[in-house]
Structures are given as structure tokens and as C-alpha cells.
Amino acid sequence: MAAPTAIKTAIDLAVAGELAQQLRVDSVRSSTSAGSGHPTSSMSAADLLAVLVGRHLRYDWDDPANPGNDHLIFSKGHASPLLYSVYKAVGVVSDEELMTTYRRFGSRLEGHPTPELPWVDVATGSLGQGLPDGVGIALAGKYVEEAPYRVWVLCGDSEMAEGSIWEALDKASHYKLSNLVVMVDINRLGQRGPTELSWDLDTYHRRAAAFGARVIVIDGHNLGEIDRAMAQAREGGHGQPTVILARTRKGRGFSEVEDREDWHGKPLPPEMAERAVIELGGERHLTVRGPKPEAFSRPARAAADGAAVKLPSYALGDKVATRKAYGQALAAIGVRRDVVAMDGEVSNSTFADIFAQQHPERYFEMYIAEQQLIAAAVGFSARGFRPFASTFAAFLTRAYDFIRMAAISRASIRLSGSHAGVEIGADGPSQMALEDLAMMRAVHGSTVLYPSDATCAAALVATMADLDGISYMRTTRGAYPVLYDSGEQFPIGGAKVLRSSDHDQVTLIGAGVTLHECLAAADQLRADGISARVIDLYSVKPIDTATLAAAAAATGGRIVVAEDHHPEGGLGSAVVDALTGAGPAQLSVRHLAVRDMPGSGTSAELLDAAGIDAAHIAAAASELTS
């Protein structure tokens, strides 16, 4: 099939062939100069990239922020020598930068690509993530932006063993992402030997087709076949993503390593590299440019200040679940057209369904595929949207690698995890998030929020929309009394002192359900003549060290922290970390947390069994003050 005539192509195939050799030579040179890297994994895909970049990728290299640019994602991030050699070939990275900084300290040419480079959308290097991220970008382009760009993803064959690849293809076909093109570099060899499927292209073909893709099988070193496949892919097909299965040879072009085992992830020693460059036809310094993007302006969005947002309000004392407030507030901020939401088939539990009903055009059902759920959010973030992704907090553990990588991607995504802790009751431990705070606090630059009432939850949802980085809100299943008037401010890094006096003897710290238990405990203690300060630790990270330190000082260092979470890495750790860093102080801390494996039961039974209910908090406080 001929390439559509309307699209200008910039270089002919003969030049593309030269370019491919240049990319190989530069992949060898750069990795040898760095003393590490993956030249052979780059060489197998050089022909694909030469034809793509020279003839099909519509990208204005002088304007990486151009909203009409295609996207190019190296899901096989270890082929960074190839990607950076492409950047040299289009003239945005100099040969000197490539040869003297790649993989060195302080360089933007890191071992695996990150958005420190303006042409990189998402960090890769943990395999099986670039494609799911690309699905998110393609969703944005097709459904929200109605943009002309295509998303081109280079996958390795080893990563086809990751389940996340199939979550991605499933969603790509479900959402008819004809703007997505997946190029699989099937070079047969993984890190430690042959891949599971080697060159069994028939099986790859059957799998990708069964998952709804249009599949084109080519010789990945035949420029004409590559060109025809990409032209066909560019046409878009019939509401399907395109998967180009390219049979290639690892280390292609240098006979000493081509299709040989034991050459994964190793630079060629200098003498070998010299021979490789000679066999590849010597150094070249072509500068090429492919087709430009179509003119495209982003759709106008609501003012970023969210002036039109009217948050829900709640009456003091009414019982409202924070998860409900999450959904209501999310729907309210949905008047901002940069807000998008997605959920893992539990939107009637997380209450993301309220947003879905009010803003169906910006809601994406990801079904039970939490990795793709997070990746979709990352993709939307790469396009400048403000995604909110929700599921049960316990099931966010399914996507921890994606959350970790989202931080490296410099993505700004907002996560909501419902059904925290033993409070959920009868469903049992598989549905109880008891590790999520530890997991989310350890993410670089994360914000971790844990509201105790609906007013706070709603306010924090609005705040999250404008936060950079990874932010997380933990919500509770059950309905508890509203504690704050609407209009109350909840700054990130703050805390609320709900009970205090000049003669407080002990500080009680909680969040979520345990804050309500702390309040009840304070009432019990007061009846016993003990005055307790109560702190609502709605901002777990960053944490309000000043308020904590003041409380500790005022109450003789006597602190009870109660949390519906395992003892490690949650509220208790956050408090102790903060106070320890706050300077010398005598602390007497009782840390109440879920230390045994819970089972089923009512909320009250399980909070009691875990020792985190009002009675246990009061008892711990009494002991401290006795």
C-alpha cells in the first residue's frame, strides 16, 4: 500500500538507510564512551526509527511544546542510545553532548529516558509502562483534545511478557485508539538469553490481533516494508490501534555481536567499537527532519483558577463518607475542562461515578486494570490535563511500580484510594488498605492526604487539582460526622487542633476513622479528669511539624497516635519522623496500629480488635499520664 500522498515526507529511503547506519554508529559510540548502556538493543530498532523519524513522525523539533506534535515513546527505555542518537540526527542534541555526557553525572541524557529532556513525555526503563502511558496520551488526543497527533511507541519483545502490555492493548482496542501505533522490536534476545517467544511472530500476531489490534508483520530491517507499514499505520485503520511486529536482529550491522547472546546491556570495548563503526560504514553526521505537525490549537479550557468551582457543602454533624465527598467534589471541579477522571471499575464505591455522570466526556472507565488506570493518568498528565484516578486503596498496590515511575516521569496525577483499613468491615483483609500510606509516603515528592470528614475531603480535592507531582487521598468507607464548617481552609502541610486547653496532659493524633475515635477518647478522658489535645493529621505528607512539636511540648511529650494501617510507614512513622527531626525532645509515644492480621467483622469489632478504637486510645493515654 502506498503512503498517502497528502503527507509530506522529508527524506527518501536511501537517506533513511544512511540515517539508520548513523543511528547504529552513534549508539555504539555513545555507549562505549559512557562505558555502559545497551547498543545492541538500539541497533535492532535503528531501521524502524530512521524511517519513522525521517518520514512519518510529525514533529517540530524546534518546538517540542507544539500541541500538534506526534508523540514518540521508547517503552524499551534501555534503547536510550538509539533515542538520543535520533535527537542528534534531528539536530537538537549535539554530537559532543551525546559523546561526553551520556549516562554521566548531571547529564540530561540519563541511562533511561526521563522528561528532563523536552522531547520525552514519560520516563521509561521499567518495562511494560511506555505503552500503557501511550494509551493515556492517545485517549487524550482522541476523546478530549480531538487532536491530530499520533502516538508511536517502540516496545521490546521481552516486555511483551508483562501483563501491563495486554492491559494496554485491551484498552487501546476498547477505546478504538487508531491514533496509536505500537512498533515491537522482536530481536529474539532478552537480557539472559532468548525471549519466551523468540521469533515466533505468529504467536505475537495472534495475541495482538485477539486483543483487538490491526497487526502488520514486517522484516524490521527492510526499509520499504517498514515504510509501507508506517504509512498504513498513519492512515489510522478502522478504529483499531496498529501493532507493527518487526522481526529484527539484536546488534544488527556488526557481525561480531549480531544475533549473539551475552551482548545484552554491554557497551562494546573501544577496539570492538572501532571495528563496529568501520563495518557500519563509518561515522556520519547527517541532520534530517521529518514531516511537521498539523496546525493544532488546544481547545480552550476553563480558567485555571477554578473560579467557577462550587464545592459541595455539608452540615456539621451530618454523617457523610469521605469517599462520597471525594466524588461530589470531583464532579464539582469538573467544570474545569482540564480535569479528567478514571476509575478501575469500582466507581460506584469510590464515587467517581458522580463525576462520570456529570462529565461523561472526560471520564474513562479502565475496568479492573489498575496498572493501566495509573498509566492513563500519566498519559493525560503528559498532555497537560489534571487527572484523578480512583480505586480501592488496597488495589493501588497493584500499580506501585507505575506510581513510582510516574514520579520519575515528573507527572502530576491525583489518586484516590477508598476503603482504607479494617474499618471496611466484613469484606476482610484482601480489601483493606493497610500498607497504602507507607507506599505513598515513600514516593518521591508525593503529597499524602487523609481527610476525616466530608468538608475536608472536598476542600482537598479542589486543592489537589493544582498540586504538582503525585498526590494521594485516602478515603474511608463508612459515614462519619462532619467536623468542619464549609469554608474551612485545609492547607497542604497543615493540621487541625480540634481539642486543646492550657492544661492538656496528652496529645491524641488520628486521621480518618481514628480521628473520630480520638475525639471519643478525649471525651472519655475528660470524664476521668484527663485533658487531651486532639490533632487531625489530614496532611500526612508534608506534615505539620510545628503543630506537632507544639503539642508535644505542651503535653510533656506524651503522644498517642492511632491509625488504621499497619505499624510501619503510616501516621505513627510520619509523626515520629517529624518530631525526631524537630530537635531534642523527650517523647513518650504510644503507637496504636493494626498489628495482627484482621478478618471479617463489623467496623466496631475490628477497630476494637486492632486496638485502635476510642477505648484503646483512652487507655493508652491514661497509661501515659498516670
Binding to a copy of itself (CB under 8 A) within 304-363 occurs at 345-349, 353
Q: How many CA atoms lie within 13 A of 389 on its CB side?
A: 31
Shortest reach from residue 9's CB to a copy of itself, in Å: 34
Q: What are phi and psi of 386, to 5 degrees?
A: -120, 85
Q: Which of 123, 377, 454, 562 forms a contact with a copy of itself (CB under 8 A)?
A: 123
Shortest reach from residue 187's CB to a copy of itself, in Å: 14
Q: Which of 3, 7, 92, 161 forms a contact with a copy of itself (CB under 8 A)?
A: 161
Interaction residues for a copy of itself, span 42-61 (CB under 8 A): none
As a three-state string, the secondary structure of 9-46 is CCCCHHHHHHHHHHHHHHHHHHHHHHCCCCHHHHHCCH
The answer to whether 468 contacts a copy of itself (rule: CB under 8 A) is no
Interaction residues for a copy of itself, span 192-211 (CB under 8 A): 192, 195-196, 203, 206-207, 209-211
Strands 71-74 and 151-156: parallel
Interaction residues for a copy of itself, span 418-457 (CB under 8 A): 425-431, 434-435, 438-439, 441-445
**Which segments within 467-554 are labelled E, that is strand?**
470-474, 479-481, 496-499, 506-510, 532-536, 539-541
Interaction residues for a copy of itself, span 549-608 (CB under 8 A): 557, 565-570, 572-574, 576-577, 580-581, 583-589, 591, 597, 599-602, 605-606
Shortest reach from residue 309's CB to a copy of itself, in Å: 26
Shortest reach from residue 487's CB to a copy of itself, in Å: 32
The answer to whether 104 contacts a copy of itself (rule: CB under 8 A) is yes
The answer to whether 158 contacts a copy of itself (rule: CB under 8 A) is yes
The answer to whether 118 contacts a copy of itself (rule: CB under 8 A) is no
- Taking the least distance from each CB to a copy of itself, the nearer of 188 and 565 is 565
Distant-in-sequence, close-in-space partners of 449: CB < 8 Å, separation ≥ 6? 460, 464, 471, 472, 473, 474, 492, 538, 539, 540
- Taking the least distance from each CB to a copy of itself, the nearer of 196 and 283 is 196
Beta bridge partners of 472: 415, 448
Q: CA-based angle 191:162:27, to the nearest 5? A: 40
Shortest reach from residue 300's CB to a copy of itself, in Å: 32
Shortest reach from residue 243's CB to a copy of itself, in Å: 13
Q: Which of 84, 149, 166, 364 forms a contact with a copy of itself (CB under 8 A)?
A: 166
Shortest reach from residue 49's CB to a copy of itself, in Å: 20
Interaction residues for a copy of itself, span 381-420 (CB under 8 A): 394-395, 397-398, 400-401, 404-405, 407-408
Question: Could you tell me the strand order of the sheet in which 386-392 lies?
Answer: 363-365, 339-343, 386-392, 413-418, 470-474, 447-449, 539-541
C-beta separation of 372 from 168 below 8 A: yes
Q: What are phi and psi of 590, to 5 degrees?
A: -105, 120
Q: What are phi and psi of 223, to 5 degrees?
A: -60, -35
With residue 393 as reference, give the H or E element that holds it: helix 393-396
73-107: buried (b, 16+ CB within 10 Å) or exposed (e) per residue? bbbbbbbbbbbbbbbbbbebbeeebbeebbbeeeb
Instruction: Select from 403, 399, 373 the least CA-distant residue to 388.
Output: 373
Site map for a copy of itself, 8-47, x if CB under 8 A?
--------------------------xxxx----------
370 is catalytic: yes
- Taking the least distance from each CB to a copy of itself, the nearer of 70 and 564 is 564
From 159, 370, 517, 563, the catalytic residue = 370
Q: How far is it, in rounded angstroms, from Cα 325 to Cα 449?
A: 14
Most distant pair of Cα atoms in the chain: their distance:
89
Interaction residues for a copy of itself, span 238-297 (CB under 8 A): none
Phi-psi region of 239 (alpha: psi -120 to 50; beta: other; left: phi over 0): left
DSSP letter at 197? S
Site map for a copy of itself, 74-103, x if CB under 8 A?
---x-------------------------x
Amino acid at 185: D
The answer to whether 133 contacts a copy of itself (rule: CB under 8 A) is no
Shortest reach from residue 565's CB to a copy of itself, in Å: 8
| Residues annotated catalytic, as ranges | 370
